[in-house]
A and B are shown apart, each in its own frame.
Chain A
């Protein structure tokens, strides 16, 4: 099992550009999550999903969108990138509600 995979590993965007961060898991987990982590800070939940077709906002959803058309994939869309979105983005998945989460390797995004 590859676990949770994320692409790309690194990306530099210009202000106003858009991009999609990809996340795929092969553990057949229903629950998937997107976090951002700023330097020296904890993890902040952006969006989460409890299954295909169901998504909900987390703590910091503004400027982001998600979709969940399959169990495996949970892409995060950034529209009109802003410098405040410079961060490291982690995708995670979980077998059960409130259970242990397994993280992908992260995407380091810089917006200039």
Chain B
């Protein structure tokens, strides 16, 4: 079982729709959760982090964390073509990854005009 799992996609949504990206993790002791956006040929860029159960909103982005079910999700409202990118989920703080971020493979999002 991979430590951090994401559906590789591509996830295709029409412009203006809500895109929902999901991530599950195996280490129940994980403490910190991050979402990065990576455009093709570019480096990962941090867009959200969340530490506590529940929702965290930042503009059009909402991160959701459910530690009991070991999943974290990212919702993108009013999706724009400029949101088309690969989204990486990263997790840290568990007993198996002290001090390091464990990244998922990423989900490719395509927003169609």
Contact = CB atoms under 8 A, between A and B. Distances in A.
Interface of A: 31, 33, 41-43, 45, 48, 50, 58, 90, 97-106
Interface of B: 31-32, 34, 42-46, 49, 88, 90, 92-93, 98-101, 103-106
Nearest to A97: B99
Contact of B101 (A90, A101, A105): A101
A90 B43 contact: yes
15 contacts: A31-B99, A42-B103, A42-B104, A97-B98, A98-B31, A98-B32, A98-B93, A98-B98, A99-B92, A100-B34, A102-B46, A103-B43, A103-B44, A103-B45, A106-B42
B43 A99 contact: no
Contact of B43 (A42, A48, A105): A105
